[in-house]
């Protein structure tokens, strides 16, 4: 026994780690958990931390990992395919039909100018024609790394910004086509025009069959089987496997199949829980491992000691920056954008992350790209992602239009907020007896003093047999909860109609009952959504927010709603949903004799004239509501919107926030929206309001649900 221990003690740490696959996996999970949080607080792209961790842990650093570890290579290959799958999944073809088609001009400029620049650099350094074309294709695409900034500042709808966002569809598809042609050409010795046309024709046929076929099959399948989220998830997996197998059979690179699989299921899945789950699985594990593995390939001594690598890196970075600038400049001249819009377009199109790194990794593994090119592209990613983010923030702040009151009045409906509907119904699903009192009180305050009714609802989950003992016990428990809720509602002077429903799930039961009862609003109890189970499979709140026909208010009440006297309604920007949270707060305040404050946080760099104009616009907006007790308006400047709102919220009893969906960067890393960030840290009562889908603000639908369920 002692000799064995002595031998193990003498072995290098890296060898011991290499013999135990569970050890590097544990270290990887720790890195993926900690580094993104750290770099987010440093306001740096998380990708930099992941790639840098690979360098530190790899042969160039502590030598804990080798780039040939089977567990890392397996997860990395899955992450590579997942990365391109999400790039395809995030493309929004419906938005292209609705746009002004200006993106075609910028897409052409930002694709062909960098392509020619990359080919030229490749030839200057003596690379073959195939390699030079592949290098050029690496310059063409860009990642919308700055989208959360644009959304937060409310400039997404600017024509120039919108065209830049839409153009990513064209550049990504073009880059993937060139990558596939270059890799397929390795199978033959001749790179001729007939060969290129043959490969392109085969790719077009393959892409058409996958995209059209999967879309048709999905539409037909769900038309016959129903719109079940579990079936949608399985359909996504099946589509990916079919696309990958078809690509491999035709000699096409697998990541190309993953990309077109994402395009294929985009329309079928749509925006909903399934898309969030699919993105979460890749974002939380596989894609971060790919970036860590990419860092393992970097040889820092060779990078720093090679003049050729330094020159190539310098010219690659300068070439991309200059070519993207020229593309933005030509777009400005063609569409008569101003200089500020032109610079914003340039900064948005700078970050080279998802498609660029995936193509670089494949080209390097196939032998088309040298180590020097790999190092240059990693440096390009680090520099452009940082510079693009740093430039976009001040440019987008300056691009924020000066609010004008007159256009606002023109765009508003003649009667913006109608009176509360006569049949104002509040459905109150009950599950947790400890919190239902506050929910009933909240519903009563919203219903009072109009002639409205509350429908306490309890969902008894269905069993295989209707006479099952489990169902009988569930029904008895439901009846007791409904009796208590009915007594509480009637003691508050509100008409009450209890409802017991048998359904296979809590979320579907709530949504269907609210629709059947023609509910006007859904207010749900706060449930746990940070655990792995909730993030992966979703929870009641996620499903109801997505499926309900009416507005949904998710509440976390730390005290009785009857004690609420000060209500804060933060407005991140004036393009976000403003009126529904404000009307909800005012409905509560009118009954409770409370005071509502509208808070808008501006960037410190916004001029005083724009701040004054913003105050004027908010005043006009509030005046259109024709409220008996107009809310106070506060505008403060701060470099961090979330911190400013959290500081201001200390003086209030309730904060009403709009529901904004998370945005997933087409590189797989999830960016938390402002609402989620604030809700996690607030200590007072919270209401997160999602307005009714496809309805006017004048008919805010409501249901109140207590959903701390085990689902």
Closest to 87 in 3D by CA, of 673, 672, 669: 669
The three-state secondary structure class of 693 is coil
Closest to 232 in 3D by CA, of 528, 506, 537: 537
Please check the confidence at residue 91 and state whether its pLDDT lies above 60: yes
Instruction: Assess contact for 570 and 674: CB atoms under 8 A.
Output: no
Q: pLDDT band at residue 385, thresholds of 50, 70 and 90? A: confident
Q: In whole angstroms, what is the distance from residue 567 CA to residue 652 CA? A: 6
Q: In whole angstroms, what is the distance from residue 81 CA to residue 98 CA? A: 30
Q: Hey, what long-range contacts does 483-492 have (CB within 8 A, 24 or more apart)?
A: 484/433, 484/436, 485/428, 485/430, 485/436, 485/440, 485/456, 486/456, 488/436, 488/437, 488/440, 488/441, 489/428, 489/440, 489/443, 489/444, 489/454, 489/456, 492/440, 492/441, 492/444, 492/448
Mean pLDDT of the chain: 77
Q: What is the CA 217 to chain-centroid distance, rounded?
A: 27
Planar angle of CA 141, 145, 150, nearest 5 degrees: 115
Q: What is the CA 487 to chain-centroid distance, rounded?
A: 43
Please check the confidence at residue 6 and state whether its pLDDT lies above 50: no
The three-state secondary structure class of 629 is coil
Neighbouring residues of 449: CB distance < 8 A, sequence distance ≥ 6: 591
Whole-number pLDDT of residue 10: 39
Q: pLDDT band at residue 520, thresholds of 50, 70 and 90? A: confident
* C-alpha separations of 311 from 295, 304, 306 in Å: 21, 11, 9
Mean local confidence (pLDDT), 25-45: 76
Q: For the chain, percent helix, then strand, then coil, each to nearest 5? A: 65, 10, 25
Dihedral of alpha carbons 262, 265, 271, 277, sign: negative
Least confident of 5-14, 126-135, 381-390, 560-569: 5-14
Q: In whole angstroms, what is the distance from residue 394 CA to residue 379 CA? A: 24
DSSP 8-state secondary structure symbol assigned to residue 465: S
User: Mean pLDDT highest for which of 33-47, 419-433, 479-493?
Assistant: 479-493
Please check the confidence at residue 639 and state whether its pLDDT lies above 90: no
Q: In whole angstroms, what is the distance from residue 600 CA to residue 603 CA? A: 10
Q: What is the CA 636 to chain-centroid distance, rounded?
A: 28
Mean local confidence (pLDDT), 564-578: 75
Encode pLDDT of 316-329 as tens digits: 999 999 999 999 99
- Residue 93 in tokens: 């073809």
| Domains recognised in the chain with CATH numbers | 71-399 (1.20.1530.20), 425-705 (3.40.50.12370)
């Amino acid at each position: 026994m002692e000799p064995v221990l002595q031998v193990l003690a003498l072995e290098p740490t890296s060898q011991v780690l290499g013999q135990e696959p569970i050890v590097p996996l544990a270290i990887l999970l720790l890195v993926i958990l900690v580094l993104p949080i750290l770099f987010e607080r440093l306001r740096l792209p998380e990708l930099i931390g992941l790639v840098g961790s690979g360098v530190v842990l790899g042969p160039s650093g502590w030598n804990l990992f080798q780039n040939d570890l089977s567990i890392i290579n397996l997860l990395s290959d899955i992450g590579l395919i997942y990365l391109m799958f999400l790039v395809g999944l995030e493309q929004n073809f419906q938005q292209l039909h609705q746009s002004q088609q200006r993106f075609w001009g910028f897409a052409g400029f930002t694709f062909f100018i960098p392509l020619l620049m990359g080919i030229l650099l490749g030839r200057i350094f003596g690379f073959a024609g195939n390699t030079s074309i592949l290098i050029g294709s690496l310059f063409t695409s860009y990642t919308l790394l700055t989208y959360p900034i644009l959304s937060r500042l409310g400039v997404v709808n600017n024509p120039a910004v919108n065209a830049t966002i839409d153009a990513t569809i064209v550049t990504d598809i073009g880059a993937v086509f060139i990558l596939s042609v270059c890799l397929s050409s390795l199978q033959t010795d001749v790179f001729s025009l007939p060969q290129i046309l043959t490969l392109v024709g085969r790719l077009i046929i393959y892409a058409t069959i996958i995209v059209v076929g999967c879309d048709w099959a999905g539409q037909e399948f769900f038309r016959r089987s129903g719109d079940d989220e579990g079936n949608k998830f399985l359909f996504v997996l099946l589509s990916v496997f079919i696309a990958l197998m078809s690509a491999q059979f035709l000699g096409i690179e697998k990541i190309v199949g993953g990309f077109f699989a994402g395009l294929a299921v985009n329309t079928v899945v749509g925006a909903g829980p399934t898309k969030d789950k699919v993105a979460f699985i890749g974002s939380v594990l596989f894609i971060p491992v790919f970036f860590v593995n990419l860092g393992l390939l970097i040889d820092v001594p060779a990078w720093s000691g090679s003049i050729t690598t330094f020159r190539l890196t310098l010219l690659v970075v300068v070439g991309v920056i200059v070519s993207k600038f020229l593309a933005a400049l030509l777009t400005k001249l063609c569409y008569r954008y101003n200089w500020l819009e032109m610079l914003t377009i340039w900064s948005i199109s700078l970050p080279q992350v998802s498609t660029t790194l995936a193509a670089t990794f494949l080209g390097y593994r196939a032998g088309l790209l040298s180590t020097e090119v790999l190092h240059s592209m990693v440096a390009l990613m680090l520099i452009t992602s940082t510079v693009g983010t740093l430039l976009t923030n001040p440019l987008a702040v300056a691009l924020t239009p000066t609010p004008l009151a007159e256009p606002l009045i023109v765009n508003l409906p003649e009667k913006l907020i109608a009176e509360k509907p006569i049949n104002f119904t509040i459905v109150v699903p009950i599950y947790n007896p400890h919190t239902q009192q506050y929910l009933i009180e909240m519903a009563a305050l919203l219903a009072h003093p109009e002639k409205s009714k509350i429908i306490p609802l309890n969902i008894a989950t269905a069993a295989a047999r209707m006479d099952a003992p489990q169902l009988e016990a569930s029904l008895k428990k439901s009846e007791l909860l409904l009796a208590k809720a009915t007594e509480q509602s009637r003691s508050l002077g509100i008409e009450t109609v209890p409802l017991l429903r048998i359904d296979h799930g809590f979320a579907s039961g709530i949504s269907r009952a609210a629709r059947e009862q023609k509910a006007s609003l859904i207010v749900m109890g706060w449930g746990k959504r940070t655990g792995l189970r909730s993030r992966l499979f979703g929870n009641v709140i996620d499903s109801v927010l997505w499926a309900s026909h009416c507005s949904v208010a998710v509440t976390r009440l730390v005290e009785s709603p009857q004690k609420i006297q000060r209500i804060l309604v933060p407005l991140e920007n004036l393009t976000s949903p403003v009126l529904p949270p404000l009307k909800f707060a005012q409905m509560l305040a009118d009954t409770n004799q409370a005071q509502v404050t509208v808070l808008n946080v501006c960037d410190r760099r916004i001029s005083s004239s724009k701040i004054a104009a913003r105050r004027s616009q908010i005043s006009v907006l509030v005046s259109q509501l024709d409220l008996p007790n107009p809310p106070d308006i506060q505008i403060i400047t701060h470099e961090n919107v979330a911190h400013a709102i959290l500081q201001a919220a200390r003086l209030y009893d309730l904060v009403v926030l709009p529901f904004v969906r998370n945005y997933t960067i087409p590189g797989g890393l999830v960016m938390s929206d402002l609402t989620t960030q604030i809700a996690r840290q607030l200590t007072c009562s919270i209401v997160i309001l999602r307005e009714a889908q496809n309805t006017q603000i004048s008919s805010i639908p409501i249901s109140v649900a207590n959903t701390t369920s085990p689902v």
